[in-house]
Structure 1
């Protein structure tokens, strides 16, 4: 009996020893595992420096002059926020849902861990906010369960280190700045803007709950995905319940918020989306050039996709919005008319060319396409590449209908012809006194039409070139707008002014006869008078003036024909040149970037204005006065009436113009109506508009629809109606400032054709004109 008791006692002691041995061994193994994780045995661990400055990709943010975000450049669309910019409801929702004891633990929640182990995770996981942050910062996705165990150990170690290194507020801020909410919404600021169109500090409680709900699974609980909206709503309401449970909401508040429908303002911030897309694409090139010339202090180059630069531009977000709206509204109507007129056109969208020329256009487009380039890089021979353009494929194409892309089945060759059929536009608006570019619209849709029509494209300018000819004569010869010339055919003989054979330009409207003032001649865009003016001043002085006005004149030949606008210029060049007339003869180089800062607010670049005197204040004012005649009695007169384009649908009386203020301007139309222009000037804003097809063979069949006054002027009119309606912009409706001691006569009321008896003033003017005429041999 004693022997049996002794044996049992010995067995119990052994059991106790084994138990404590296993327990202590397990503890030692756990400690060893944590030590090994800390030593990097299970993979690289962050250093102290890395914990202090965790590596993140920060988006470069582009700001408008009125403080709005225009867009970003990024690998990850992350723009960090500070803790004070996070609303309490967002922080409370996070803590209540993801880590109830967040403020009580040091990185690892012991109670949560024991509960997770005891119930095998069925009653929730054990990851704290700090552990989730450590996973986001330093851990990759494991390939199997064993790796996940080791990763979890690493996360615990990193979490403890993070808690030692940062405050609770800093950890929450880092977590919100790091999390990927999908749709390029990396970080809570991007998520708040993309899903709700507002800054985080402006989030309502129910909106904050939606974002916190996404932390569980940003796909399955995504409010922007139609099939997951119910999931998002249910999860949002669960977050609100957790907030009530933890004392952040009353029961009444929770019940009221849960009854609200799920509402979002989904505004993607992809590179092809948002406001000022064409401008941002051009700015991207500007920044890359700046980076090449301005390295960091350590010699490394800035990276616009990850260094978190802040770029402050001259663009006004309100004016940019109005410009884009004007282009969209007009071009949608214009395209409908263009398509209607092409229904019976057998070679649509082209006109006036043969099959061989059409094939050349299509072949060139195919060889310039991404499809051709990608297949060529893979070593596919040209015959197979060409064949691929005739195989139908599913594609998503641009359409003005409902302003949404449409899915279709089409061959790549047909898609080329489809996109060739669209008319496009370029528009830029600039403040002449400062050079600040306020609006920049490079096309109708950046996603589908990448070619930019403000700076990149150069098109024939037509009659919008004539003010440069007149300005040269005014500046050099002091001609008055009231000066009269015969409206008859004028011939410049071969050998003069670069003319290879006798040149006798005709007026487009076939109007001839009588004497006309320069002001009337410009208003009516009379080629006969313009040819007489350039015959006397010569093309070289005109080109010299252009160069001083900021125009690249390298490829402009000194021939008389430039007077009628045969040269190719960009909208950018035209607006900057015209701005000199509005700025009293002083050219100011256009500016698009005022300042660049690094992520810490250190100024890296500050714009320094560049300007130069080009012509006298008097000559600039007289040129402006000449162009005022275009809107008083020429092709721009419709800006002062209830006229609207004939193809506008459901137009009400009085829409869209009826301007009463001083406006100087000039329309322009090129051969076959391939290009339509309008340049419009008020005292503190100059705006240029171009409209046309990608290829010159894409155009209207008649001048009625294809002229600048019909294609381009309406965009200017719609835009200016919008900017004038916004009183905060301060766009001038005043008269152009008249120089003191103006010596050139600008009041031509007594000099116009059919003006009645001549006054003493007119007789004196005629004497002056005769003296000038004798001197110039007109």
Structure 2
């Protein structure tokens, strides 16, 4: 048998010489390992294992940061993102968040310089055997979040860990502890449908901001840091609760909370106020969709690029878009639409119940085929090279579909073709509200539900404007010296000289007989008097005025434009009416104030165009005319039904076959335009009583304005009237005085023999 050279004394103990030799072996191994680590770190520093972040990279770390859309009252309306990440400053963080993070992830954070060697040397053995070991400091985790992705290969992970060490030390040299904590919390993944950063997490899980997070809320969010999936309070609430309570206990160990506080917080439920993140959630989704395209256009046309010359990416560059939208007014507008459209849709459904749609609606089969061919389902089937017969079979086979209703989305078994019929019979609505003096758009509701119907009807959609065009003709007449008190016989008046002779129709039940004033004619939307005025002033000056008032659609110089036979958008018509309320000045609707990069540098500011569309006297007289619509005309239900008796002008509009219902209301501080109709013009109320703008659009204006007036903080005063021009008004508005003047003029003419 082989013997060893180990020598023992009589008590079987190692001799001092052997101990010294073994100690040398141990130290030699330690020194070798230390030298190996030093060499590896040196090689890492010199980029042998891959390029490390440069000083410029450290000063400007790259991260996919969401662009924020900010309202005029400093609310975040929404974000554009690849990763839903919005940054905060250290001052915007609750101490509870900082304390929970440090206590859980790195209790010696304030004492080390990026590496906690007491923890770090233990990770190598664990990595080699494929086990996770929490040896990373917060700074190291930040380095990983900013500049690399965690490797699954244990050997590559060792190299990556060395790179994290070097980067962590650099970060500690370039940033304060507070900055590192802030950067870390701005980059962490919190799961839940693309939620990154503490700001997005606070909004997603608790509908609050990071500065208002309570200790238990902060503990829940920080508990998710190392496992946003397994500790998700949505998918694994039991795991999330246990993890939250563990974080609370660690906060107590570090003396951030007392034992009594911890026990109290542990008894609380999760208390979630969950708001799933997606691009159509939140206020003003139609506005945000239009805004994004406008921003891209501005960047392109203004040649606004990053410092390196590359184009800005709205989904990644963390820009801040300051808008004119008032979040409170936007909420009121959306609520008014939702509340009334439920009722109007019920009226519409009752109106059509029991009728054969194919016989009652012109081209209904064509409309359905058109709708089918525009659908995503049809396009997908075409991409799969399905035949027309297979596509028809698919659309006539029941399947589970998700449908929009005014009472919430529903899942139901239905033929896809029936869902097209359902959607075709849904009423749509759009609203825009703006300050007439500044042009600032305050509310924008582009449709009924952005998730299901993404087409914006405020700016992108144009529909026939109907009687809302009549004020343009009367404004030209007023500008030519006509008085609102002038009387005209309300009888058919044929206009010639523009192709075929033209004379509009007038419903017998709605026609005022005899001589009526121009104010009465506009108030009651009388077609014959309007046509007579058009015959006097001619179409060309009316077209010129319409163009000055911002209507970009084609408006041919024909007499029929006085009844609104041309198309325009809610955006254009609302802005046009703003000139009446703003002394004749048309101010370009503005919804972008400025654009800033993520560091607060201003990239763009908007200056609206201003055009003197009509003289101030004409504009003022038109406000008097439009108030007549509300006081004793087609808009009078605003007074008798909704109780709005303050100075408000407006005009209803109803197009042929009730396809479009309009109402545009003006006040000295706010002008609001609304449109209601179906997707296709052939589908509409067959009753003017139901389809007219006074029933389909005006009530939403009323409900919106009542909420606006009730909130005094908005500054929209109820009893402010339109200002008269500084130079006074030469046109007589008092019809009694006007009649006396006309009578006196007639007597003088008789005496003179005229």
Is the structural similarity TM-score above 0.5? yes
Matching residue of 1:262 = 270
What pairs with 1:158-173 in structure 2 (closer than 5 Å)?
Answer: 158-173=167-182
What pairs with 1:339-358 in structure 2 (closer than 5 Å)?
Answer: 339-347=349-357, 351-353=360-362, 357-358=363-364
Distance (Å, rounded) in 2 between the aligned partners of 1:669 and 1:503 = 18
Distance (Å, rounded) in 2 between the aligned partners of 1:141 and 1:127 = 12
Matching residue of 2:534 = 534
Q: Provide the alpha-carbon RMSD of the alignment.
A: 2.8
Matching residue of 1:58 = 65
Matching residue of 1:397 = 403
User: Using a 3 Å threshold, how does the CA distance of structure 1 residues 12 and 661 change in structure 2: closer, same or farther?
Assistant: closer
The answer to whether residue 504 in structure 2 is matched with residue 519 in structure 1 is: no
Deviations 1:82-104 (A, max 9, x none): 22222211101100111112122
1:551 CA drift (Å): 0.8
User: Secondary structure at 1:680's aligned position in 2?
Assistant: strand
Q: Which range is displaced more, 298-307 or 12-21?
A: 12-21
| Contact 2:523/2:626 (<8 A) preserved | yes
| 1:45 paired residue among 30, 41, 52 | 52
Matching residue of 2:318 = 308
User: Using a 3 Å threshold, how does the CA distance of structure 1 residues 6 and 269 change in structure 2: closer, same or farther?
Assistant: closer
1:336 CA drift (Å): 2.0
User: Secondary structure at 1:46's aligned position in 2?
Assistant: coil
| Contact 1:469/1:530 (<8 A) preserved | yes
Matching residue of 2:739 = 762
Matching residue of 2:729 = 742
Matching residue of 1:755 = none
| Contact 1:595/1:605 (<8 A) preserved | yes
The answer to whether residue 71 in structure 2 is matched with residue 101 in structure 1 is: no
| 2:164 paired residue among 149, 155, 158 | 155
Distance (Å, rounded) in 2 between the aligned partners of 1:271 and 1:606 = 25
| Contact 1:98/1:129 (<8 A) preserved | yes
Distance (Å, rounded) in 1 between the aligned partners of 2:107 and 2:742 = 90
Distance (Å, rounded) in 2 between the aligned partners of 1:245 and 1:675 = 68
| 1:490 paired residue among 471, 493, 496 | 493
User: Using a 3 Å threshold, how does the CA distance of structure 1 residues 65 and 351 change in structure 2: closer, same or farther?
Assistant: farther
Q: Which range is displaced more, 571-580 or 244-253?
A: 244-253
Q: Which range is displaced more, 254-263 or 370-379?
A: 370-379
Distance (Å, rounded) in 2 between the aligned partners of 1:662 and 1:191 = 46
Matching residue of 2:503 = 503
Distance (Å, rounded) in 2 between the aligned partners of 1:5 and 1:516 = 129
1:635 CA drift (Å): 1.6
Deviations 1:105-160 (A, max 9, x none): 23332333466689999996222212221221223242444433443343334333
User: Secondary structure at 2:733's aligned position in 1?
Assistant: coil
User: Using a 3 Å threshold, how does the CA distance of structure 1 residues 101 and 660 change in structure 2: closer, same or farther?
Assistant: same
Matching residue of 2:595 = 596
Matching residue of 1:447 = 451
Matching residue of 1:427 = 431
Q: Which range is displaced more, 679-688 or 373-382?
A: 373-382
Matching residue of 2:699 = 714
1:163 CA drift (Å): 2.7
Distance (Å, rounded) in 2 between the aligned partners of 1:627 and 1:442 = 25
The answer to whether residue 670 in structure 2 is matched with residue 685 in structure 1 is: yes
User: Using a 3 Å threshold, how does the CA distance of structure 1 residues 5 and 568 change in structure 2: closer, same or farther?
Assistant: closer
Matching residue of 2:585 = 586
1:456 CA drift (Å): 0.5
| Contact 1:351/1:697 (<8 A) preserved | no
Q: Which range is displaced more, 184-193 or 377-386?
A: 377-386
1:57 CA drift (Å): 1.9
1:577 CA drift (Å): 0.6
User: Secondary structure at 2:485's aligned position in 1?
Assistant: coil
| Contact 1:393/1:410 (<8 A) preserved | yes
Matching residue of 1:365 = 371
1:454 CA drift (Å): 0.6
1:19 CA drift (Å): 4.8
What pairs with 1:450-469 in structure 2 (closer than 5 Å)?
Answer: 450-469=454-473
Matching residue of 1:272 = 280
1:259 CA drift (Å): 2.4
- TM-score in terms of structure 2 length: 0.91
User: Using a 3 Å threshold, how does the CA distance of structure 1 residues 6 and 76 change in structure 2: closer, same or farther?
Assistant: closer
| Contact 1:582/1:621 (<8 A) preserved | yes
What pairs with 1:406-421 in structure 2 (closer than 5 Å)?
Answer: 406-421=410-425
Matching residue of 2:95 = 88
Distance (Å, rounded) in 2 between the aligned partners of 1:768 and 1:549 = 36
The answer to whether residue 16 in structure 2 is matched with residue 29 in structure 1 is: no
| Contact 2:330/2:444 (<8 A) preserved | yes
User: Using a 3 Å threshold, how does the CA distance of structure 1 residues 407 and 34 change in structure 2: closer, same or farther?
Assistant: farther
- TM-score in terms of structure 1 length: 0.88
User: Using a 3 Å threshold, how does the CA distance of structure 1 residues 594 and 161 change in structure 2: closer, same or farther?
Assistant: closer
User: Using a 3 Å threshold, how does the CA distance of structure 1 residues 465 and 379 change in structure 2: closer, same or farther?
Assistant: same
Matching residue of 1:174 = 183
Matching residue of 1:253 = 261
Matching residue of 2:11 = none
1:253 CA drift (Å): 1.9
| Contact 2:502/2:559 (<8 A) preserved | no
Q: Which range is displaced more, 360-369 or 500-509?
A: 500-509
The answer to whether residue 643 in structure 2 is matched with residue 666 in structure 1 is: no
Distance (Å, rounded) in 2 between the aligned partners of 1:95 and 1:593 = 40
1:767 CA drift (Å): 5.5
User: Secondary structure at 2:77's aligned position in 1?
Assistant: strand
| Contact 1:483/1:769 (<8 A) preserved | no
Distance (Å, rounded) in 2 between the aligned partners of 1:678 and 1:35 = 74
Deviations 1:343-364 (A, max 9, x none): 212227x9431xxx22322232
User: Using a 3 Å threshold, how does the CA distance of structure 1 residues 725 and 292 change in structure 2: closer, same or farther?
Assistant: same
Distance (Å, rounded) in 1 between the aligned partners of 2:4 and 2:437 = 109
Distance (Å, rounded) in 1 between the aligned partners of 2:130 and 2:401 = 45
Distance (Å, rounded) in 1 between the aligned partners of 2:4 and 2:714 = 102
1:560 CA drift (Å): 1.3
| Contact 2:144/2:150 (<8 A) preserved | no
The answer to whether residue 249 in structure 2 is matched with residue 241 in structure 1 is: yes
Matching residue of 1:649 = none
User: Secondary structure at 1:509's aligned position in 2?
Assistant: helix
User: Using a 3 Å threshold, how does the CA distance of structure 1 residues 767 and 505 change in structure 2: closer, same or farther?
Assistant: farther
| Contact 1:268/1:274 (<8 A) preserved | no
Q: Which range is displaced more, 721-730 or 617-626?
A: 617-626
Q: Which range is displaced more, 712-721 or 233-242?
A: 233-242
Distance (Å, rounded) in 1 between the aligned partners of 2:256 and 2:461 = 58
User: Using a 3 Å threshold, how does the CA distance of structure 1 residues 143 and 213 change in structure 2: closer, same or farther?
Assistant: closer
Matching residue of 1:775 = none
User: Secondary structure at 1:395's aligned position in 2?
Assistant: strand
Deviations 1:371-390 (A, max 9, x none): 44455556666665555434
| 1:129 paired residue among 120, 132, 138 | 138
Matching residue of 2:12 = none
Deviations 1:429-469 (A, max 9, x none): 11111111111110111111101111111011111111111
Deviations 1:516-547 (A, max 9, x none): 11111111111111111111111111111000
What pairs with 1:319-330 in structure 2 (closer than 5 Å)?
Answer: 319-330=329-340
1:511 CA drift (Å): 2.6
1:59 CA drift (Å): 1.9
